Amino acid sequence: MSARIIDGKQVAERLRGEIAARAAALSAAGTTPGLAVIMVGDNPASDVYVRNKVNACEKTGIRSFEHRLPASASRDDVTLLIHRLNADRHIHGILLQLPVPAHIDANAMTGLIAPEKDVDGLHPLNIGRLVAGLPGMVPCTPQGSLLLIQEVTRDLSGLHAVVIGRSLLFGKPMGQLLLAQDCTVTQAHSKTRELPALCRQADILVAAVGRAEMVKGEWVKPGAIVIDVGINRQADGKLLGDVDFAAASKIAAAITPVPGGVGPMTIACLLANTLKAAEKT
């Protein structure tokens, strides 16, 4: 059997088209959605991510505002900027690009962002809302991953989902989103025992570890949906996922590629969160 390849680029493109149409309607009514991106210090990878986010905003009719602070910026500098952006009615979404220099407490700074402008969904109030099943801002990569799963099937009720990884950024919110879809969720991590056997029970297998091709073909249950979140750059510049794609795609029913799977969905969902915030004002 050869799995269906879930084309994240295509799904993200469709989503961006819908966002652009809604953003245009909102602008015509007098509110242009605005996203502020804060970057502290120089980090070449963050630089690329920020540029991609800014470009994506421009293409969808969302105004972007870049705030670059030097690595020497103090906690007070970042705090002041966040307070200013919280009060700015032209800004509907605020994103603190991670990582930040060690002397800046990223969690504390995220907690200062107004929850309704927290487009990364990392404010404790938004995390709590997700767990409580209340509406709020949902982190972008898990949100995008769920949309890709729903491209395959809308009814996830009763399916066994195994999520490998328990980070606040991805693993934990992904587990919550799947639980809200009535999946039976197993959250695996570095201390999990018998991981291959556990994965073989998964109707939905989500890998977010950061280890190239850790998930082998024989870990995959025949007919499973496999979502590969990992981005692992090799010495030759090639990107590999956390799943051995060649082997797993012979066994799964559907699988996301790396690149071109989950990655494009992250920015599309960031735009969606910004638009959602603007529509609520």
Candidates 97, 143, 176, 187; catalytic one: 97
As a 3-state breakdown, the chain gives helix, strand, coil percent values, each rounded to 5, of: 45, 15, 40
Q: CA distances (Å), 156 to each of 14, 152, 241, in order?
A: 22, 10, 24
List, in order, residues 6 or more apart from 76 with CB less than 8 Å away. Answer: none
Least distance between ligand NAP and beta carbon 121 (Å): 12
CA 144 → CA 12, 51, 108, 110, 261, distances in Å?
8, 20, 26, 21, 10
Tokens 């012979």 correspond to: 250
53 given a catalytic annotation: yes
Rounded least distance, CB 240 to ligand NAP, Å: 10
Name the residue nearer to ligand NAP (CB basis): 71 or 168. 168
- Least Å distance, CB 155 to ligand NAP, is 25
Output the smallest distance, CB 227 to ligand NAP, in A.
Answer: 10
Ordered DSSP codes for 164-175: E---TTTHHHHH
For this structure, is 120 an active site residue?
A: yes
Query: Residues 272, 56: contact at Cβ < 8 Å?
Result: no
Footprint on this chain of ligand NAP (rule: CB under 6 A):
141, 164-167, 169-171, 188-192, 195, 208-211, 229-232, 262-263, 266
Distance of alpha carbon 216 from alpha carbon 197, whole angstroms: 11
Which of 180, 230, 232, 231 lies closest to 205 in space, CA to CA?
230
For residue 121, list its beta bridge partners. none
Catalytic residue among 117, 118, 120, 143: 120
For residue 158, report the phi and psi dihedrals to the nearest 5 degrees.
85, -5
Catalytic residue of the set 9, 42, 47, 53: 53
Establish whether 236 is a catalytic residue.
no
Considering the complex, state which of residue 91 and residue 226 has its C-beta at the smaller distance from ligand NAP: 226
Given the complex with ligand NAP, which of 126 and 141 has the nearer CB atom?
141
Nearest residue (CB) to ligand NAP, 36 versus 229? 229
Comparing CB distances to ligand NAP, the nearer of 54 and 195 is 195
Q: How far is the CB of 188 from ligand NAP (least distance, A)?
A: 6
Q: Which residues are catalytic?
A: 53, 97, 120
